[in-house]
């Protein structure tokens, strides 16, 4: 339309940052405890019997913050209860990773380190 400004393309910026974006894959087992809602406690008691642990898989994203050291940032909920963590790079290569630290209270951050890049 005449007189309308054209927005600049984001493509040049994306070409620079996309190699730092990774997929974070997790596997683990989680106990299935069932809490009874307050309104049903008079019928069922405080807690239902715990269910057997169930395997789970999850997927999230992260950002490489130090390629030389293999450091990746992600959210804590992505890796919560994971027993195996792997990182898939933008080029398709996949590596195991270990949890360096995280904050499960705020869920803001988890620091991972790629193993044997």
Supply the range of the domain harboring residue 95: 20-114
Give a yes or no: residue 95 inside a domain.
yes
3-state secondary structure of 32: strand
Give a yes or no: residue 10 inside a domain.
no
How does pLDDT run across 46-85, given as a tens digit for each residue?
666 666 788 999 999 999 999 999 999 999 999 988 999 9
- Number of domains composing the chain: 1
Residue 22 clears pLDDT 90, i.e. is over it: yes
pLDDT at 47: 67
Give a yes or no: residue 46 inside a domain.
yes
Residue 33 clears pLDDT 80, i.e. is over it: no
Give a yes or no: residue 70 inside a domain.
yes
How does pLDDT run across 80-110, given as a tens digit for each residue?
889 999 999 999 999 999 999 998 888 878 9
CATH of the domain at 27: 2.40.10.10
User: Residue 26 — pLDDT band, cuts 50, 70, 90?
Assistant: very high
3-state secondary structure of 57: strand
Query: Which residues, at least 6 apart from 92, have a Cβ–Cβ distance to it below 8 Å?
Result: none
Give a yes or no: residue 81 inside a domain.
yes
Q: What is the dihedral of CA 28, 101, 113, 59, to 10 degrees?
A: 40
pTM above 0.85, yes or no: no
Secondary structure E strands in the chain = 21-32, 51-66, 71-74, 84-88, 94-102, 110-114
Residue 43 clears pLDDT 80, i.e. is over it: no
d(CA 80, CA 29): 11
| Residue predicted with more confidence, 52 or 14 | 14
Helices (DSSP H) in 5-91: which residue ranges?
A: 11-17, 41-44, 76-79
Asked whether the beta carbons of 73 and 62 are under 8 A apart, the reply is yes
């Amino acid at each position: 339309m005449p007189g309308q400004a054209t927005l600049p393309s984001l493509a040049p910026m994306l070409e620079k940052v996309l190699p730092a974006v990774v997929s974070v894959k997790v596997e683990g087992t989680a106990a299935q405890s069932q809490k009874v809602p307050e309104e049903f406690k008079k019928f069922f008691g405080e807690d239902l019997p715990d269910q057997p642990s169930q395997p789970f898989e999850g997927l999230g994203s992260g950002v490489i913050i130090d390629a030389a050291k293999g450091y990746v940032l992600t959210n804590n909920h992505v890796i919560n209860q994971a027993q195996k963590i792997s990182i898939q790079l933008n080029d398709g290569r996949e590596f195991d990773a270990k949890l360096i630290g995280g904050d499960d209270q705020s869920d803001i951050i988890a620091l991972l380190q790629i193993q044997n890049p």
